[in-house]
Amino acid sequence: MNLAWIICAAVLLAAGPAAAQEGGKTISRTAISLGTATPGGGFPLYGNAFAEAMNAADPSIAIEPRNTKGSNENIPLLEKGELDIALVAGEPAYEAFMGIGRPATPLKILTAMYSSPGMFVVRADSPYRTIRDLAGQPVAFGARGSGLPILSRYVLDGIGLKQDDDFKSIYLDRAGDGPAMVQDGRAAALWGAGIGWPGFAAVASSPGGARFIAPDAGEIARIRAKHAFLKPLTVPAGSYPNQAEAINSVGSWSFVLTRADLPDDIAYRLARTLHGVEAALCKKLPQACETTAASTVAAAPKQELIHPGVMRYLREIGVVK
């Protein structure tokens, strides 16, 4: 009987909610798996801050970040139910929602994360000044499976360039490998996106310093004329070391997506907890200051893509009617 009881208890712990002690009481905790990306990139940084803030605020949930290959792996893992929630860049999310190159996904939006203006970083002593200057050069376009190479393809296509034909494209196994390649000359530039992106911060903080290359005003107009879903976005001055001026570019919003069958009550609890700790999350990570209820409504391609449980909370607080 003792052996049977032990086996039964083990099964329940594996399949059901975890438990935690708080104030001398045992609290049932719902375990929630969170897919991020490869180490060294922006998604693991955000995912860890997100989980820490949420777990501290709500003892009934236990969000567990997991490193993955990034957006292009997170989407099928969510669809198969192997993740509960995951971080997904704007471009692969858009393609999945719209059914571009694949059937439309039933996944839902939990929240908008942050805006991701795309640009290149080069060493400060680099001779390259424009995107076209980089043509023919080795360029690191981000980690395999991440959304960054998809964003760059749209941006380059908008100005008449092909990523794998006009550049010596490098795709990384680990996002954190890119900065060293720029610093030691193996890559002329590193493509990335966002404010506070670790790859940009690493190159900009190196002894020689860095410069950023983004589309100019004419190129932004051409990109948006061809790919209207990309939004004009700005990297404020001072976002990176020695970045004296604001940088205009284009990009999209990254999202926390949920599996299609995530129960409404869990999605509601996650939204309520998240937007109750917006200030705390902002203190943990500057780019997370954009993770707000209003941003979610503004960034979602369609409101019906937002999880019904999240919509219930957004209606309660008056963000949507």
Residue 316 pLDDT exceeds 90: yes
Instruction: Enter the tokens of residue 254.
Output: 């990254």
Residue 26 pLDDT exceeds 90: no
In sequence order, what are the residues at sequence separation of 6 or more whose Cβ sits closer than 8 angstroms to the Cβ of residue 70? Answer: 37, 38, 41, 43, 89, 143, 144, 145, 146, 147, 175
pLDDT interval class at 4 (50, 70, 90): very low
Instruction: Enter the tokens of residue 224.
Output: 């948006």
- Percentage of the chain modeled with pLDDT above 70: 92
Q: What one-letter code names the amino acid at 263?
A: P
Task: Considering the domain delimited by 27-115+253-316, tell me its CATH architecture.
Answer: 3-Layer(aba) Sandwich (3.40)
Residue 110 pLDDT exceeds 60: yes
CA nearest to 105, candidates 73, 76, 74, 85: 76
Q: What one-letter code names the amino acid at 58?
A: D
Distance of CA 115 to the CA centre of its chain: 9
Task: State residue 146's pLDDT score.
Answer: 87
**CA separation, residue 44 to residues 14, 30, 156, 198 (Å):** 25, 21, 26, 10
Task: State residue 200's pLDDT score.
Answer: 96
Residue 6 pLDDT exceeds 70: no
Number of Cβ within 10 Å of residue 237's Cβ equals 11
pLDDT tens digit sequence for 90-109: 999 999 999 999 999 999 99
What b-and-e string marks burial along 306-317, b requiring 16 or more CB atoms within 10 Å of the CB? Answer: bbebbbebbeee
Instruction: Enter the tokens of residue 120.
Output: 């290149």
pTM of the entire predicted model: 0.81
pLDDT tens digit sequence for 44-58: 999 999 999 999 999
Rounded CA-CA distance 133/160 in Å is 14
CA nearest to 143, candidates 111, 181, 105, 108: 181
Q: What one-letter code names the amino acid at 31?
A: A
Task: State residue 12's pLDDT score.
Answer: 35
- Across 198-206, average pLDDT: 95
pLDDT tens digit sequence for 217-234: 999 999 999 999 999 999
**Cβ–Cβ under 8 Å, residues 253 and 91:** no
Q: Do domains 27-115+253-316 and 116-251 have the same CATH topology?
A: yes
Q: What one-letter code names the amino acid at 171?
A: Y
Residue 14 pLDDT exceeds 50: no
Number of Cβ within 10 Å of residue 214's Cβ equals 21
Phi, psi of 121 (to 5 degrees): -120, 135
Residue 1 pLDDT exceeds 50: no
Residue 174 pLDDT exceeds 80: yes
The CATH T-level fold of domain 116-251 is: D-Maltodextrin-Binding Protein; domain 2 (3.40.190)
Sketch the domain layout of the chain as residue ranges: 27-115+253-316, 116-251
